Structure 1
Amino acid sequence: MSHDSPPAPDTARWKVLLVDDEPAVHEVSRLILADLAFEGRELEVLSAGSAAQARELMSHHADVALVLLDVVMETDDAGVALVQYIRGQLRNSDVQIVLRTGQPGMAPEREVVLRYEINGYCLKTDVTSQRLHSIVVSALRAYRYTRSLRAMLERDLKRAAPPGPDTARSALALELVHMHNADSVLMQAQPEVALASNQVSGIELVPQWKTSLGLLPAERVRDALPVGPARRRIALWLLSQACFWARSWRATRGAPVTVSIPLVADSLGDCGTLEAVLDVVRDAALPRGALDLLVGEATWLGGHPDLRGAAAALRELGVTLTLVDFGAQTISLQRLNQLVPDRLKIHRLFVRGVSGNPEQMAIARSLIALAQTLSIQAIADGVSSDSDAQFFKWEGCDLGQGDTLAPACAPADVAAFLQDGRKAAH
C-alpha cells in the first residue's frame, strides 16, 4: 500500500516503528506502549536496530503512522539520513517522525529542526512513561488528521476537475497537495527596513513552490487551491515556519521581530482554518506584533463576511494584518475605513523609479498621506535605488523593502542583519 492510499479501516492497528540500536530501549518502550490504544485501535509496534533495517521495514509497511527514531546508530548521522530517505525518496510526508537522542551534541535540536522535517525532538533521559504516551497519542492524532485531509482533498479535487481549461489548474492543485513542503518550497526572507533609522525592523517570509511549472509564488498557489482543507494545510505549515523564525530571531536580536507571512489571511474564509490558526498562535505565545499576516486586496475587497470577526480574534492575540499591493485595485475609502489594516504595502508600480516620475510621486504621496490619516504604517515595496529610498523617507513612509535597502536572503542568514543592532545595507 502506498502512502497516498486512503486511511486504513478503523479496525486496523496503528503501526509504530521503533528505530534504535539499544535493545533495552526497545524492551522498555514496548512495555510502556503495551496497553496503549487510541480511538479504540491498538498499536502494532515494529522494531529496527539500525537505519538500514528501518528502510527495509518502511518499504513493506508504508502505513507506518509514527517513527520513534534514534539519531546515532550505525553512523553518527544514521537517524537524520533516515529522515531524508523517508521524506525524499519515499515521498512520505504523512508519517510522524520523532527523534529521541541520548547524545544531543551530535544533533542539536535547533539545527535538526531547521534542516529536517521532523515532528518532534526529545532527549531519552527526559522521556517518562507518561511523556511517551503523550508523544505517541499526539503523533497518531496528527497522522490521522493528515491522512483524512489528504483523502478528502483528492476526492474533492477529482470531482471538481471538469474537462477543458480548468484541467490544468486541477492538475496543479493535485500536484500541490502531494508536494512535501520542506523539500518543495524555496523560502526566502525579505527584510523590512525602518526608513527613519535605516535598521531592519521586520522580516517577510517569501515562499516559492517548486512545481512542474517552475517556481510558483504564494499568489499562484492561492489561485490554484480553493479555500478549504488544501489551503489550510499549507497555511498552517507557513504559520509554523513563521512562529519558529519569530522565536529564533527574537533570541538573536534580544527583542521581538515582526515576521510577515502570505496565504494565511487569504485562507480565513474557511472556519476550520481560522480556528486552527488561532490555536497555533495561542500555543506559540509570541509577543504582540511578532506575527503579521499579509492580506491580498481581493480578500479585503470581496472577502468572506466574517473577515472583520477573524481580524478581531487575531488582533486580540497580538497578530497584525498588512494589506498588500495597495493601489493596484480600486478599493473604496468606506471599505478601508470599515476594516482598517494595521499596515499597508504600497504596490511596487508606484515605488520603483518614483524619484524620476512626477506622476508616481503624486500617487505615492497620496497613499502615504492616506495611511498617516488612518494611523496605518506604510511600507514601500520594491525600493530599487537610493534616490527612491530617500524620497519615501522624506515623505514620511515608515518602512521600505527592496535589495537597495537590504537584500533577500535565506532565513538562516537573517541573523547578520539583526545582531548588535546592525543597520541595513543602504
Structure 2
Amino acid sequence: MARTPSQWKVLLVDDEPAVHEMSRLILRDLRFEGAAVELLSAASAAQACELLSRHADIALVLLDVVMETDEAGMRFVEFVRHQIGNRDMQIILRTGQPGMAPEREVIVDYEINGYLLKTEITAQRLQSAVIAALRGYRHARSLRTGEPFERGCAPAQPRDLELAEDLAEAVAAGRIVLQAQPQLRLDSLQLHGVDLIASWNTRRGLLSAEQIAARLGTGTVRLQTMRWLLVQGVAWARQWQRECGRGLRISLPLVGEFLDDPQYLHELLRAVGETASPGLQLDLLLGQSVVLRAESSLVDAMMQLRQARIGFVFRDFGAATIALPYLNSLAFESLKLPRLFVQGVAAEPQRAAMARSLIALAQTLGATTLAEGVASDADAQFLRWEGCEVGQGPALARVCAASELIAALQRGADTSH
C-alpha cells in the first residue's frame, strides 16, 4: 500500500514576485491528509522545466500563461504531457490575461485540471483548488500503480527523527535563539511591545520558527518547547520591567499554534499559572492554520487563557477568508498586517486600498492594527494617517535603536536562560 508523502510538492510558475509572496503566505500552513505543502517557485517556464528534472514527485503545478513568451505556459503543458509523458501531475492555469488563453479553448485542447483568473482568486479559493488537485493527484497515482494511498503521514525518516531529537536537546540546552523585534506606536514612536523571533541552532545550521513548528509533532517535544518559550517570554517581560520601570507587551512565537489540542491547552494553562505575575503582558501569536481549523474549540481556549491575562495576535490578518462573525467572536487584541500588504503601500494603489480596508475592519472589531515589515518612512506615514496604531520593521527599528534599549533587551535575553 502506497503511503501519503511526508510533503506534497507544489510548483508555482509565475513571473510576478508578488504572486509568489502571496501564494506562499496563503499556503504556508496548508495540510492535506496530515502532510504539509512544500511550495517550489519558478519565474519562467524554462526554470520550471529545470525544477521538474530535479523533482519528479511534484504533485501540482500552478501555472501562469504569459511569461517569457505569450505562450510559455501552454508550451510547458505540452512539454509535461507529451514530451515527458507525466499525466499524474495536476496542472492549474492561473492567468491575468484570459484573452491569451480562453478557458473554453484550453480546457478542450490541453490536459489541464483547473483554470483560475488571478482577479478572482481568494485565499479560500486557492486553498480549495490546491486540496482538490492534490486529491486528484493521489487518485491518479493510485489508478496507475494499483496501490491505494494510505491516509496519514509517512513514517518518520531517520533524518526527521534525528532533527526531533536535536530539537528536544536544543530546548533543554537553550539552543533556541530568541531575537527581539521592537513594535513602535506610529503616532509617538514610543515602544509598544516586542516580538520574540525564534530560530533553532541545529547541527545543520539555523532553522526558522516555521521550520521549528513543522517538527513539533510529538507531544513531549511540543510541550517542552511551549514551556521553554513561555519561561523566556516571562523573563524578558520582567527584565524590561526592572530596567525601564514599566510594562511591555511580549509576543511569543509558536506557543499558540496548538490550542485545539486539549492536553496542550491544559499544560499551557498550568504553565501560565506557574509563571504569571502582576502586570505581566504576554500575547500569543496565532496563525491562520489555527484560526481556520479550530473554530468553537479555539474560542473556548482563548476565553480560558484571557482569564489568565493572556492576549492574542492574529498574525495573518487579511491573508485568509474568515467569516466576519467568527473573527469577531475571537476578539483578538491585535491584528497583524503581513508585510505583503505593507511594503510599498504608500506608492502602490492596490496595496494601499487593501491596507486601508483591513485597518478599517480592525477598527470596527475593536482591535489594534499592527503593520509588519514597515520598510520606509513613507509607508510608516501612510499607515499612521490611515489609523494603523503600531508598526515594526527596518524603518522603525532605526528609530528605537538607542543603546539603553538594546542593552536592556539583551540583558533580558541573557538572564532568561
Using structure 1 for the length normalisation, give the TM-score: 0.56
**After the TM superposition, which residues 334-373 of structure 1 pair with which residues of structure 2 at under 5 Å, given as runs?**
334-373=325-364
State the Cα distance separating 1:412 from its structure 2 match. Answer: 9.8
Q: Could you tell me which amino acid in structure 1 is paired with residue 363 of structure 2? A: Q
Q: How has the CA–CA distance of structure 1 residues 229 and 180 changed in structure 2, closer, same or farther, with 3 Å as cutoff?
A: closer
**2:382 aligned with 1:405:** no
What CA distance in whole angstroms lies between the structure 2 residues aligned with 1:289 and 1:373? 27
User: What is the CA–CA distance in structure 1 between the aligned matches of 2:308 and 2:322, rounded to whole Å?
Assistant: 27
- Give 1:397 shift: 0.3
Structure 2 CA distance for partners of 1:229 and 1:377, relative to 1, 3 Å? same
**Residue pairs, 1:26-425, within 5 angstroms:** 162=154, 168-226=159-217, 228-287=219-278, 290-303=281-294, 305-406=296-397, 414-415=406-407
Q: Deviations over 1:373-417 (max 9, x none)?
A: 0000010001001111111111110100012112599x9964568
Identical columns (%) = 41
- Cα drift, residue 230 of structure 1: 1.6
Paired residues of 1:288 and 1:317 also in contact (CA < 8 A)? no
Instruction: Report how many aligned residue pairs link the two structures.
Output: 258
Calculate the TM-score normalised by the size of structure 2: 0.57
How far 1:254 moved relative to its partner?
1.1
Cα RMSD after superposing both structures: 2.8
Letter in 1 for 2:267: A
Q: Could you tell me how far 1:176 is from its partner in structure 2?
A: 1.5
Cα 1:413–1:181 change in 2 (3 A) is: farther
- Segment drifting more, 307-316 vs 365-374: 307-316
Distance apart, 1:256 and its partner CA: 0.9
Task: Give the Å deviation of 1:363.
Answer: 0.4
CA contact 2:183–2:390 (8 Å) conserved in 1: yes
1:63 corresponds in structure 2 to none
Q: Report the CA distance shift for 1:304/1:226 in structure 2 as closer, same or farther (over 3 A).
A: farther
> In the TM superposition, what is the alpha-carbon distance from 1:211 to its structure 2 partner?
1.9
Cα gap change, 1:292/1:394 in structure 2, threshold over 3 Å: closer, same or farther?
same
CA distance in 2, matches of 1:273, 1:354: 39
8 Å Cα contact 1:227-1:269 kept in structure 2: no
Change (3 A) 1:304 1:222: farther
- Structure 1 residues 243 and 404, CA, compared in 2 at 3 Å: closer, same or farther? same
